[in-house]
Amino acid sequence: MQHGEFCRTVTMDRRKFIQLAAAGTGLLAGAAVLGLPLHARAAEAYPLPPLPYAENALEPYISARTISFHYGKHTKAYYDKTNTLAAGMSGLALHEVFLKAAGKPDSAALLNNAAQAWNHTFYWNGMKPSGGGAPGKRMMEHLQASFGGYEQFREAFSAAAKGQFGSGWAWLVRNSDGTLEVVKTANAENPMVQGKTPVLVCDVWEHAYYLDYQNRRADYVSAFLDHLVDWDAAEKHLT
């Protein structure tokens, strides 16, 4: 999936949204009969994307219990809040929402929730069962050019992920000149705000690993790199 295609997957197609809205009267009536909650009675502009694998697919490195909380509660909450705060912005892709909100003090809540929704979906889509280890030839060539090799990249990425103070993210990003760089961001920050293109991300908020690793963030980061990274997905963000 290309980077632009990924950005479009985390928002609803505007035409579909309008079509669903036009059918709203019948849908709401049926929902009322069924006693469904309000969020299930109408289409959301930014629905929670499904996981690309089963909740237990990343075991033993990330447990189904962790994913049930991290995806089912944390990620969903960011999408739910974004849908509330971004009313009237359904014509924008999710990344456009937080980029538009960046730098505006009165839009801090929208920035934080929309960016966290995007960051988490990018994280989920950047892992796969039996992943990790050294990448394929094309990605390896890029890592060689930018870092000197895979081991040098791994050392830099591990240091960023382990060294992020408090909550945040470790990223492999592509700069405008095509070079790759490792950066870390705090809380909901996203490198796109600085004009960088995300290629790979590791979530180092405690809720991402605490049930499985407690305070051993280093072990979680090693498991992510050695067993979970989907290099095929990362490679698609190189251009």
DSSP 203: E
The answer to the question of whether 70 is labelled as a binding residue is yes
| Phi, psi (rounded to 5 degrees) for 40 | -95, -5
DSSP 172-212: EEE-TTS-EEEEEEETT--GGGGTPEEEEEEE-SGGGTHHH
Residue 94 · residue 13 · CB < 8 Å: no
* 146 closest CA partner among 175, 170, 179, 176: 179
The annotation status of 177 as a binding-site residue, yes or no, is: no
Cα dihedral sign, 193-125-45-207: negative
Distance CA 219, CA 214 (A): 10
Asked if residues 17 and 45 have their Cβ atoms less than 8 Å apart, the reply is: yes
Residues annotated within a binding site: 70, 120, 203, 207
From the annotation, which residues make up the binding site for Mn(2+)? 70, 120, 203, 207
